Amino acid sequence: MSFAWNRIHKWEENHERAILEDVTEFVCEYYDIESVDDLTDEQFLEIVNFARHEISGYSVMQSGFSQLISYLENQ
């Protein structure tokens, strides 16, 4: 029998959720806010700029920033 990892997507989802939680927590601490919903437009643009220009596309943290930005754009 060859190696298989059934339901690997569940592990991936857990890691992605943890990364998003870490990014969200850091953003809230950095800007001294209770929720990312409290970000100003200027702060949001700073985060977008950071994610697009300062973080490698290969960074594991990129998924957290992408999810956060997507959430905020849809608010």
**Segment 17-45, tens digit of pLDDT:** 999 999 999 999 999 999 999 999 999 99
Classify residue 33: in a domain, yes or no.
yes
**How is residue 40 annotated by DSSP?**
-
For residues 26 and 21, what is the distance between their CA atoms, to the nearest angstrom?
9
**Averaged pLDDT score across all residues of the chain:** 96
Classify residue 1: in a domain, yes or no.
no
- The stretch 45-74 carries a mean pLDDT of 96
Classify residue 4: in a domain, yes or no.
no
For residues 3 and 23, what is the distance between their CA atoms, to the nearest angstrom?
33
The one-letter code for the residue type at 49 is N
Token reading at 32? 């001294």
| Residue 57 CB coordination number (10 Å) | 8
Classify residue 16: in a domain, yes or no.
yes
Give residue 75's pLDDT band: very low, low, confident or very high (50, 70, 90). Answer: confident
Half-sphere exposure for 63 (CA within 13 Å, toward CB): 12
Task: Tell me the pTM.
Answer: 0.91
For 67, the domain range is 11-73
Classify residue 2: in a domain, yes or no.
no
Q: Total structural domains in the chain?
A: 1
